[in-house]
Structures are given as structure tokens and as C-alpha cells.
Amino acid sequence: MTNWTTMNWTLAIPEIVLSCFAMAILVFGALWKRESFRMCSMMAVGALLVTAMLVVSNSSGIGYRGLFTNDSFSGFIKLLVLVSSALGIIVSLDYAEHENLRRFEFPVLIMLCTVGMMIMASASNLMTLYLGLELQSLAIYVLAAFARDQLRSSEAGLKYFVLGALASGLLLYGISLIYGFSGSMAFDRLATALSDPTKASPGLIVGIVFVIAGLAFKISAVPFHMWTPDVYEGAPTPVTSFMGTAPKVAAMALLVRAMATPFGHLLPQWQQLIVLVSIASMLLGSLAAIGQTNIKRLMAYSSIGHMGYTLIGLAAGTAVGIRGVLIYLVTYVFMNAGTFACIIAMRRRGRMLEKVSDLSGLAKTDPGLAAALMIFMFSMAGIPPFTGFWGKYFIFTAAVQSGLWTLAVIGVLTSVIGAYYYLRIIKVMYFDEAHEAFDPRPGSLTFVGGVSAIFTTVFFLFPAPLVGAAEAAARVLFG
Amino acid sequence: MIAALAFYVFAAILIGSAAMVVSARNPVHSVLFLILAFFNAAALFLLAGAEFLAMILVIVYVGAVAVLFLFVVMMLDVDFAALRGGFQRYLPVGLMVGLVLLIELGLVLSGWKFLPEAASIRFAPGVSNVSNTAQLGRLIYTDYVFLFQSAGLVLLVAMIGAIVLTLRDKGDSRRQVIARQIARDPNHTMVMMNLASHVGTKDLGYLRPTETEPEEAGDMPEQDHHEHAAQDVARGGHH
Amino acid sequence: MLYSVAIFAPLAGSVIAGLLGRAIGERAAQAVTILCMLLAAACGVTAFVQLVYGDAEPGVVSLGTWIEAGSFHVDWALRYDTLAAVMVAMVTSVATLIHIYSVGYMGHEPRNTTWRFFSYLSLFTFAMLMLVTADNLVQLFFGWEGVGLASYLLIGYWYDRPSACAAAIKAFVVNRIGDLGFALGIALIYVTFGSVEFPVIFGSVGQHVNDTYHLLGAEYRSLEVIGILLFIGAMGKSAQIGLHVWLPDAMEGPTPVSALIHAATMVTAGVFMMARMSPIVEQAPDALAFVTFIGATTAFFAATVGCVQNDIKRVIAYSTCSQLGYMFVAAGVGAYQASVFHLLTHAFFKALLFLGAGSVIHAMSDEQDMRRMGGLWKMIPLTYAMFWIGSLSLGGVFPFAGYFSKDAIIEAAWASHTLIGHYGFWCTIIAAFLTAFYSWRLIIMTFHGKPRADHRTMEHVHESPAAMTVPLILLAVGAVFAGWWFRDQLVGEDWREFWGDSIVVAANNHVLTDMEHVPGWVSALPSVVGLAGIALAYLFYMFMPALPVRLAATFGGVYRFLLNKWYFDELYNFLFVRPAFALARGLWHVGDSRIIDGIPNGVAAMTADGSAQIVKIQTGSIATYAFAMLIGLVLLVGIFLLFR
């Protein structure tokens, strides 16, 4: 009845292979009598790399009766997601040893979460979108509560779960409205049906608003951001690091694709909402972070702000804007992964530290760590020549080209406010009295921090390949 | 005519019982109303000709989910009064938000109209002479196989999550080792002895496994090796 | 391939020494940087020989795309033509010698700190190589700024000395003024030609000859404006009059740095740039006249100042300034080949002089004042001999290298047959006389006469270690033979064949041919005035030491004018620095404390309040969060319904 060749099922080979790897590692971990966390983690990183190679070599096209699309946009996002998942596993290695979280399920959950994110990147149907999102979210709920004996961690997991369920509810309701008013859930059919924006009924647009709300929750954009600081603070730090990178990328990619492909013709309708959400996120991200003393909470607000900047590119609604979004995401992933590697290295006499004041005088006790953290903070503050500046540069350029002057101006103003708290960390590290030195830092953290710092610093020398790839990916959505 | 009547009856009961789920004072009553609501929803599915969905709803939601709820409500010591306090505190805000949302949705839905193309792009209804169980099966395993498998992965994650977050390997927990159970030799676990008639046995009380073999302790229905155990005491695990 | 190695080996050395220096120790860091430099020098010289004497074809080594933004396209690429290859060969070999020399010179530094110095030296070399091999203006600018940065680091190497820090900042700031001109020039080139790639620009110069540029109501030819803006950049880097003030102060750095900056690299960047941009500036006669004027004036001005300085390194620094003036005179009259020729020979003899001065300073326990030297020639005979060779070359005495290149410039100035060319001719003739005079004044004051230093210093005087003398000898070989070897190829009959397309001269530019046919007295004059200068120096400082003192007393005004370097520093202090400070203080008191601080402090207070308010709703209660989400949703839907 069904001809398998017409399904183009090979398009999903990376996802299939990765889930098979995940299940194999799960079985291995369950059967292996001895300590298997480290080995499973290594295998998971290997599996992610294999998958990345498959993603690179996979072809483009539409498969599974239009449910699944491979194009250069999805390829770009998948590679970024795979890299950040691998970084997430690597930073967890030594943390798990110290905090007694050596459980092989950890890498398995990250891998399944990655499968979910890859499905999100390729979604070309609202149902695929939803399932990918749920697969990703469910794994993250569990990961957030992974340190189940700590009250903070289980509270974080529960909080994220309940609010996430609410967000999923909103998303599903939005999808049902869209389906009800247009009669399809496939992106291409929706695009055809909505090619004349005047015929779009208000019900459908309200459906889109609900979908935006559901996805905005995932990227923690204001006003759906409230979970972020609590969950960031409560979850084990490697999980926070992972949560702050890959899922944000995937959810943003999903939002971009959902807005651009099926609802691209309704740009004027959704643009103003994205603009509002973006402004609110930038303002809140930069204002609320000022008073924070816990560095993980601070990073939570910082990520809210960064998502606000990214949304500017989406609001621009052009290929240039999407290119900016993609470049910003890449720079954001590396800055964030690097910063969290530095945070995980904050350990004194075996105890984790999370206060900004614990960093004081770090430049004297551990100049390497201080220099790396300084690079990330400068980059987040958007100071050239670090990547953060280029990300903002491409975004603001796109906004100005699309005539969104207000957004660009507010973006610049909030970056100035935001620079205050980033620079404060540098000041604490370099000019305050030194404390006792941190414990020796494991090689895995040096690796992640070093790779990220090098990328952040030397990106400006060879931006062309990345910019070119982002450009090609963006052209898929806005020809 | 009868179908319409049935629809309104079921729908009314559905809404009524849903309202009772949130407003009933006794949590057990809430769950029972939930079960009633599920039944009525199943009836509505039946009216729409979706007999497979109706059965699934009854089996899964009534048979498993709602009963699980009932267990939870009865076994866990949840302070419902405190929950209710929160409910009342947030009620005004909640009502207001709900009301505004309702008005907004009302405004939107008042303009309900189908796209002219809607009919053409809607999927063609199924073949008439095939039961909808078969139709669903065909769709799920062909056109939607990708989604089906993804949903499977979601369930896998849920399962891993439940295990990761709750399973505690304390060392003295009792786990069934089937191989050992099968390999058991009755000679090692049963003592046959003759008892004088009309004497009776002493009150053996509640038998507990011996603590001499902690490795074995949790493995199988534990046998009593004591000399006064007169019969096969095949009841382990009651702890 | 060889060529890429020559460029990137110094970078590798710098990175290894800089990042791992503390871990691997200074010996290893020195070894790594020197090995990398030796490799670079070998590859650089080979690449040069292959191109000029072998059968290698000029071309471009592409390394990848750098910036791709619409029509704005910039590649990382290494240009491989005669001009670049000559510079690469010269820079790598001189820099290698300076690296080796530094091992000996920095021997007195505290243990295990000099890895930083070697890392900076290599970084500097790399930046310079990027500059000379650039295939587009942006990469040229990258190298240009990299050189500026590295020089800032090197001049301020002894960062615990306030004077070193001040000198480093001065060098940085003055260079920024020049860079502003350069950056504007690049921008204008992009506007005019639509590209920053050399092949595109040079290929389309012909189409833009008559383009005009409107500024403040007046209309200028674009190429003239571009030429002048580029030259302003060159003035900053090459310390031409007006923007020269940083150069003497830069002597605060360790002596090898002075040798690297003043001899081989940084200061020659401006001259190199004029030669590289020859296709454009060749079409801008007014800009060229300006170049000649500034160059000639600098040559004369710096030579006069050099005659009365007492610090041994400052004398050589002003001499550099003056020699750079010569090179710009040559560029200004269209003899770019002669300017690069002089650049090349100058690299050898000036590095020799600087390193020799370093050897003297080393011997004298870090004494730099010539008035406290004297009578050294028997104690450090090798250094003495090196100084003679360097000075003979600098003074332009036959057959040393400087004779050929300086004569070529002076003849070219005469052969240009323009008014400004003749101004250049006379200035350079006078400067040649002064050059010889101050060179021998330096030799006599330093090496002859009675020792004027105290006993303890004199007892410590010793010849420098081999690590310092071997580079001196090698440089001396260059200072003797480079002119004789290269003359015919660079500016003689074979110049077209040698330079290929790397330097372009306009069809009506016959300077190089004409300079072969200047009158006999013109070619003889430089040598005559040079010998006269030497004789005068002997008269003043050897035989009648009382005479200069009496002269200084009689012409007190002139002496003080020269001693204070024409009062440039004081003038700038009065014109720019003090008003800037006054303005800054005013802005600080009124603008900053009251307005700027007032508003941001107010805003900051508001921000902090806002921050507190926002954080206040972060209660941790799930219900609150859920309501916040729902209210947000209702608001979004409401906004959509109201304003769509």
C-alpha cells in the first residue's frame, strides 16, 4: 500500500541512527554491572559526532508525506544542536563525579532530547513540530530534576514540568485553532491557503498567537520567561548549561520556520507581536540581571536578553534577518557553553560555588580561567572583536534594513545596560581581593572553555564560511 | 433526531461532571466525576462514529489513568484544604483572566468562516467499507509512521524519566530474579514433616524471611527453614 | 607554500611563546621563536630568490574568504610579487638577526620573564609580514594596526617605568591620527572603485582618473584626495614631520625593539604603502608634490636636530626620521624603486647602528648619554668597527650600501626637473652633509677622547657576547654589499624586469631613465658634502673640542631651538595637549559630574529600582508564573485584536 521509496525515509537517517545509539547505550548501561557513566558519556559524544557526519552527508528533500523536511536551514540547526549537546555532555563528566550523579541515563536523555531537537529543526507539519518539541521538553524536565535528592533540583524539574505542560497546552490549542480555521497542518498547504493575507480569519491569527506563546515559553521570552531563573538556578549546572544552549537554538529555529514558512504571508500580522516580545525580553533581561548575586540566575536573565536580540532578526522578516538570527545563535551557543564551563569550574574544597562574589580576585589565583571568563563576558556585552559583537551587528543591521529603527535603538540601549553587569563580573575578577584558589580544574572543562574562548576570539578572522552557511540557510526560508 | 438528543444529553452530563471535578469538596468524588466525564466523552466519540477512539478512551483513561488517580488520592496524604486555599486566593485573578480570554475568543469565533480552499485541502475522509480501527491502523503505520515512532520515543523518555527520578537501589530492596526462581530446588526450600493428629500447630505468627542471607533475601518467596514450620509457606514478599 | 610558511612561522612562534612561555620557560620560548624565525627567513629568502632569479611566477596565495557582505568582498590572501617578496625577505632576515641579538641583550633581565618579549617580537614580525603581503586594503590595514599594537606592547615592555608607558601611549595616539587618514583613504577607495582588492583597484585606475569628490562645496579629484589621505597614514607610521614626535620617545623600549621598529619594519610601512599604491598615487601629481615637500622637510629637519642630541639612541632615531624623509622624496618624485632600494639598504645599516648602540649601552651598564662616554674604542674594538661600517654606509661613502641608494634618491630628485623636486634636491644635499656630521660626532664622542664615565662603569666595559656580535657582523656584510649588489637590478638598467608589475609608473614618468644622465656635479655633490661633514666633525670634536661649546654659547637661540627639536613637543603641548586637558577637566567638573553622571546616576537609580520591581514578582510560586503567562497571552491576543 505504501511505497517506501516515495516516503524518502532516508532523510531521517541521522535521527534514526541517533535514537538507535541512544537505545543501545541505554541497554548497555542497564546491563553493564560496573560503573558505566563515563563510558556511556564517551559513547554518546561519539554517537553525536557520527550523527553530525550523517547530517552533513544527508541529502535535502521532503520525506514522510510532507511531515519531514531536510534543507540547509535544518542542516545548519542540526549541526549546531549536535555540537552543543556534545559540549553539554562533556561539561557534565566531572560534575557528575563530584555531585554523585553518575548515572548512565544522563547521556541517554541528552541524546533523546537531541533527537527531539533535530525533529524540531526538520518539522514541516504542526504535528511533527509538536512531537519534536515534547520529546525535547520531556527529556529536559527529567534532566532538570536529575539531582533528585536536592530539593532545589526536584523543585526546578517540577516547576518546569507544570509550566511546560501549560505552554504545551497553549501550543496545542493554537494548533487546533489553526487546523480548524485552515483545514491543514502541513506547512506547505498552510502557506498556499494563506497566500492571500486578506482572507486569513482572525481565529487563525489568534491560533498563531497561541503558537507563538507556546514557543516563546521554550525560548524563555517575556512574558513567558518566569520559569527561567528558578529552573536555571535549581537544575544541576551542566543541565543548565545544556538547557541554555541546544534547546534554545532548536526552539528558536522552530519559531523561525513556523513563522516564515506557513505564515510567511502574514508577516504584518505577527511581526508586531514578535517586536513586542523582543522589546520586553531585552528590557527585562538587562534590567533584572543587575541585582543578581547568583551567577546562574544572572545567566538566566542574560539568556532572556539574548533571546530578545535574536527575535529582532525574526521580526525583520527578511533573509538578512534570519541570517542574523542564525549567526547570533551560533555565537550565543559558544559563549554560553564556555561561560557555564567556567561556572562549573567554580569549586572550592569540593563544594560548588555560585555567587558572583566567589569570583573575586580570580585573575590572581587562576589567570587562565579569569581570562576565559573575561572573553565570554566581553563577548556577551557585545564588545568587538568578540563574536557577541558580530552577532549583534548582523541583527541590528537587518533591523535597520527592514526599517525597525525602534527595535535597533532599544537593542543598543539595552546592550549598554547589559554591559554593566557583564563588566561587573570582570571587575570582580580582576580588581577585588583574592580569595582562596579554586580546586584544580578538570581537563574536560578546560577543553570546552578553551574551544569556546578560541572560537569567540578568532571568529572575526574567518567569518565567511559561517556567514555563507547562514546566508544559504536563510535563503531557504525567505527566498 | 435520537442521535441529536443523545448528543445533548451526553454533552450536558459531560460539562456538568467536568464542573463537579473542580468544585467537589471530596477529592474522591472529584475523581469519580472525572470517570463519569470520560464515559460521556467516549459516548460522544461513539456518536461521531469513532468507535475505536471511544473504546481506547474508556480502556486507557477510565481503566488506567483515572484508577491511578484514585489510588493516589486515597493513598497519599495530600492536604486538600491547603490546595483549596490557594484556589480561593487566585480565584478572582483567575476568573478575570479567564473572562477576558473568553471574551476575546468569543470575538474571534464570532467571525468563524471556512476558507474557500479549506474543503479542498482537507484530507479526504476514509474509505467507507473499512472499519475505522483498520483505517487508523493503516494511517498510523504508513503515512504517520514517523510521528508514531516519535511518539514512541516520547514514551521511552517518560519511562526513563520515571525510573531515573524514583527508582532507588537501596541494596535491601526486593527484586525478582526470575532465573534464580526457576532454578530453585524444592528440596532446599521445603521441609516435610509428620505432625501428630489433633495436636495442631503452634501459632506461627507472621512469617518473615530470615536475615541470614541478605543476598538471597529479596529474591524469591522466602521459605521458613525453622523446624516448626510444618507446611509449605509460599508467601513471601508481604512486607 | 614556502611563502605561507615564511609568513606564518613567526605567528606560530609568537603564539607558542606567548601562551606557553610561562610553562616551558624562557630558554625554550627563545629557542622556539628563533627557530620559527630562522625557518621564516629561510623560506622568505628562498621565495624571493625563486621569484627574481628562478622561474617562479608572481601570484596570489589565497587562504580563504574573510568578509563577504553583499558587494563587499575581502579575502585572506598573500600577494606574491617582487615588491612583497623583497620586503618579506628583508623583514624576515633582519628580524631573525634581531631575535638572536635579543638573547644576548636581554640577558640581564630577571630570570624567566623575557618569553613575553620574544612573543611580542615575533608577533610584530608577523603583523609586518601580513602588511607587506596583503592583497587588499583591509588586510593591509589589519597588518598596519597589528604593527601598531605590537609596537605599543614593545615600547611599553618595561611597563614599570612611567616614561616607557608614556612613550608607548604617545606612539599609539600619534599613530591613530595617521590611521584615521588611512582609514578614510580606504573608505574613499571603496566608494570610488567599489572594491578594496588590489587587482580590481589597480585594473580600473584608468577609468576613475577624472572622478571628482565634493567636499565643503569645493571639487577635488578623487585620486588626489585618496593619495593625500593615504600619505597622512604613512606620515604617522613613518614619523614624518608633524607626526614624528613619537619616534624619539619610542627609544624607551629595549634597544632591539628600536632596531626592529626603526630599521626593518614599522617605520618603513608608510614607504612600502606608497610603493604598493603606486598605480593610484602615480595619477595624483599634487599629492606627490605634497609627499616630496614633507619628505624633504623631514629629511632636513631631523638631520638638524640629530646634530645636537646627546642621547646615543636619539641621535640614531632622528637619523632614521631623516632617512625616511629621503625615501618619501624618492616616492614623491616618482622613483618608488629608489625609495624601496633605500628602504632595503637602510634596513641593514640602521639595524647595524642600533644594535651597535645597544652593544655600547650594554657595555656601559645601560648608560645612554654620549657625554658620559668616550675612549671606548680600544675596549670594544668590534663594536667600534661595526659603527664605522654603519656610519660610512649611512653617510653615503663609496662603496658602502648607503652611497648607492642615497645617490639614487638625490639624483632622482634632481632629474624630476620640477620646482618641488629641486627643493627636495637641496634639502637632501644639506641633510647628507648633516648626516655625515652627526654620525662622526657620535663616533668621536662615544669612542674617542678621554673616558668621561666613572671608574666602576669603565671597569665593567666588555665586548658583547657572541649572540650579539654575530648578528652585528652579518648586518655589516649587508651594509657593505647590499647597495653594490642590488643597484643595477633595483634602479639600474634591469629595473623593469626586476619589479615586473609590482610597481607601476605612469607613461610620462622617466625619472629612472633621466637620473642616469644628470650632470656630473650632481652625482658628485653628495659624496663631497658627506666628506665635508666628516671633516667638520673631526675638526669640532677631535681637534678643537672648545669650538662647539663656544658656538653653542654664541648662537644660543639656534642651539636651544635644535636641542628642543624645533619645539615640536612644546608646540603640541600648547596647541593640543593642554587645551585638551583643560577641556577634559571642564567637561569632567561640569559635564561629567553634573550632567553625565547626574543623568546616568538618575537613570541607574531608576534602573536599579526597575530591576528590584521586576525581581519582586519572581516569587517562586508556580501559580504566579502560570498567571503571568496567561496574562501575557491575553495581552498579546488583546493587542492583536485591537491594533491589527
Q: Which chains touch C (3 or more CB pairs under 8 A)?
A: A, B
Given pLDDT bands bounded at 50, 70 and 90, which one contains residue A170? Answer: very high
* Pairwise CA distance, residues A385 & A463, whole Å: 11
Chain A touching partners, 3 or more CB pairs below 8 A: B, C
* DSSP secondary structure of C46-92: HHHHHHHTS-PPPEEEEEEEEEEETTEEEEEEEEESHHHHHHHHHHH
C43-81: b (≥16 Cβ within 10 Å) or e? bbbbbbebbbeeebeeebbebebbbbeeeebbbbbbbbb
Higher per-residue confidence, A135 vs C51: A135
Q: What are the φ/ψ torsions at residue C209 (nearest 5 degrees)? A: -55, -40
Which residue positions in chain C have pLDDT lower than 70? Answer: 69-70, 111, 215-217, 264, 587-604, 606-608, 610-611, 613-615, 644
- The answer as to whether C148 is a domain residue is no
Please determine, for residue A238, whether its predicted confidence score (pLDDT) is greater than 90. yes
What is the predicted pLDDT for the residue at B124? 44
Is residue A2 pLDDT above 70, yes or no?
A: no
Interface check for C632 against chain A (CB to CB < 8 A): the answer is yes
β-bridge mates for residue C64, sequence order: C76
What is the spatial distance between Cα A233 and Cα A230, in angstroms, rounded to a whole number? 5
Q: What is the pLDDT of residue B116?
A: 64
The three grid cell numbers given for residue A263, joined into one nine-digit string = 505564515
Q: In this structure, which long-range contacts are made by residues C199-203, counting pairs with CB atoms below 8 Å and at least 24 apart in sequence?
A: C199/C60, C199/C135, C201/C137, C201/C279, C201/C280, C202/C279, C202/C280, C202/C504
Please tell me the predicted confidence (pLDDT) of residue A115. Answer: 96
* pLDDT band at B206; cut points 50, 70, 90: low
Query: Does an H or E element contain A70, and which?
Result: strand A68-70
Angle made by CA atoms A224, A226, A227, in degrees to the nearest 5: 105
Assess if residue C140 is contained within a domain: no
Is the CB of A135 less than 8 angstroms away from the CB of B146? no
Residue A317, phi then psi, degrees to nearest 5: 65, 30
- The answer to whether residue B78 neighbours chain C at the CB level (below 8 Å) is no
- What is the identity of the amino acid at C110? P
Query: What pLDDT band is residue B8 in, cutting at 50, 70 and 90?
Result: very high
C-alpha distance from residue C163 to each of C157, C252, C287, C315, C578 (Å): 11, 7, 36, 18, 19
| CATH code for the domain defined by B1-75 | 1.20.120.1200
More confident residue, C600 or B58: B58
- What predicted TM-score, i.e. pTM, was given to this entire model? 0.69
C264 or A448, which is more confident: A448
Closest CA to C431 of C362, C328, C504, C361: C328
Residues in a beta bridge with A69: A62
Q: Out of B90, B94, B104, whose CB is closest to C638? A: B104
pLDDT score at B123:
44
Q: What residues are paired with C79 via a beta bridge?
A: C60
DSSP label at residue B59: I
User: So what's the pLDDT on residue A251?
Assistant: 95
Kindly report, residue by residue over A10-67, the tens digit of the pLDDT.
Answer: 899 999 999 999 999 999 998 887 788 989 999 999 999 999 999 999 889 998 888 9
What is the tens place of the pLDDT at every residue in B39-52?
A: 999 999 888 778 88
pLDDT tens digits for range B150-172: 999 999 999 999 999 888 766 66
Is C625 within 8 Å of A229 when comparing Cβ atoms? no
Per-residue pLDDT tens for A347-356? 888 888 889 8
DSSP state for residue C215 in the 8-state scheme: E
Q: Is A223 in contact with C622 (Cβ distance < 8 A)?
A: no
Give domain status of residue C126, yes or no.
Answer: no
* Single-letter amino acid, residue C323: Q
Q: What's residue A433's pLDDT?
A: 87
CA distances from B22 to B16, B28, C236, C531, C623 (A): 10, 12, 81, 112, 16
Predicted confidence at residue B234, as pLDDT, reads 42
Contact call for A119 and B109, based on CB within 8 A: no
For the record, the C-alpha cell of C540 comes out as 669640532
The more confidently predicted of residues A175 and C468 is: A175
Give the count of domains, chain C: 1
Domain span holding position C375: 287-499+519-563
Q: How far apart are CA C74 and CA C195, in angstroms?
A: 9
- Confidence band, pLDDT 50/70/90 cuts, at residue B212: very low
Is residue C439 in a domain? yes
Q: Report whether pLDDT(B145) > 60.
A: yes
Q: Strand, helix or coil at A294?
A: strand
Strands (E), B149-190: none
Give CA–CA dist C262/C354, Å, rounded. Answer: 9
Q: Given a cut of 90, is residue A215 above it in pLDDT?
A: yes
Q: What is residue C505's three-state secondary structure?
A: coil
Least CB–CB distance from A193: residue in B112, B121, B163: B121
User: Which residues of chain A lie closer than 8 angstroms to B145, CB-CB?
Assistant: 7, 64
Supply the angle between the helices C2-52 and C115-133 in degrees, to the nearest 10.
50
C341 lies in a domain?
A: yes
Answer yes or no: are the C-beta atoms of A399 and A312 closer than 8 Å: yes
Q: Judge whether residue B205 has pLDDT over 80.
A: no
The arithmetic mean of pLDDT across residues A179-198, rounded, is: 85
Tell me which chain C residues have a C-beta less than 8 angstroms from the C-beta of A170: 629, 633
Is C627–B104 a contact, with Cβ atoms under 8 angstroms apart? no
* Dist CA A261 CA A126 (whole Å): 12
CA distance A201 to A215: 22
Residues C401-404: contacts with CB under 8 Å, at least 24 apart:
C401/C345, C401/C348, C401/C349, C401/C478, C401/C479, C401/C480, C401/C481, C401/C482, C401/C483, C401/C484, C402/C345, C402/C346, C402/C349, C402/C479, C402/C483, C403/C483, C403/C527, C404/C341, C404/C345, C404/C483, C404/C484, C404/C486, C404/C487
- DSSP letter, residue A61: E
Closest approach of B96 to chain C, Cα-based (Å): 10
The percent of residues above 70 in pLDDT, for chain B, comes to 69
Question: Does position B219 have pLDDT exceeding 60, yes or no?
Answer: no
Distance CA B128, CA C25 (A): 85
Task: Cell numbers for C234, please give them.
Answer: 604613512
- Nearest residue on chain B to C638, judged by CA atoms? B104
Q: Is residue C418 part of a domain?
A: yes
CB contact under 8 A, B147 and A131: yes
Which residues of chain B neighbour A157 with C-beta distances below 8 Å? 165
Can you tell me which residue has the cell 563574536?
Answer: A387
Chain C interface residues facing chain B, Cβ-Cβ under 8 Å? 623, 627, 630-631, 633-634, 637-638, 641
Q: Can you give the pLDDT at residue C589?
A: 67
Please give the Cα distance from A44 to A106 (Å, whole number). Answer: 10
What is the arithmetic mean of pLDDT over B126-136? Answer: 73
Q: For residue C557, which amino acid is it? A: G
Subunit contact C627:B86, Cβ cutoff 8 A: no
**From the centroid of its chain, how far is CA A161?**
18
pLDDT given at position A341: 94
Q: Which chains touch B (3 or more CB pairs under 8 A)?
A: A, C
Task: Give the residue-averaged pLDDT of B212-235.
Answer: 43
Check residue B229 and give its pLDDT: 42
- Are the Cβ atoms of A135 and B153 closer than 8 angstroms? yes
Contacts of A163 in chain C (CB under 8 A): 622, 625-626, 629
B230 has a pLDDT exceeding 80: no
Percent of chain A with pLDDT over 70: 99
Helix (H) or strand (E) holding C219: strand C218-221
Per-domain residue ranges for chain B? 1-75, 184-234
Shortest distance between the Cα of A214 and any Cα of chain B, in A, equals: 16
| Residue B217, pLDDT above cutoff 60 | no
Q: B161, A139: Cβ pair inside 8 Å?
A: yes
Q: Are C531 and C538 in contact (CB under 8 A)?
A: no
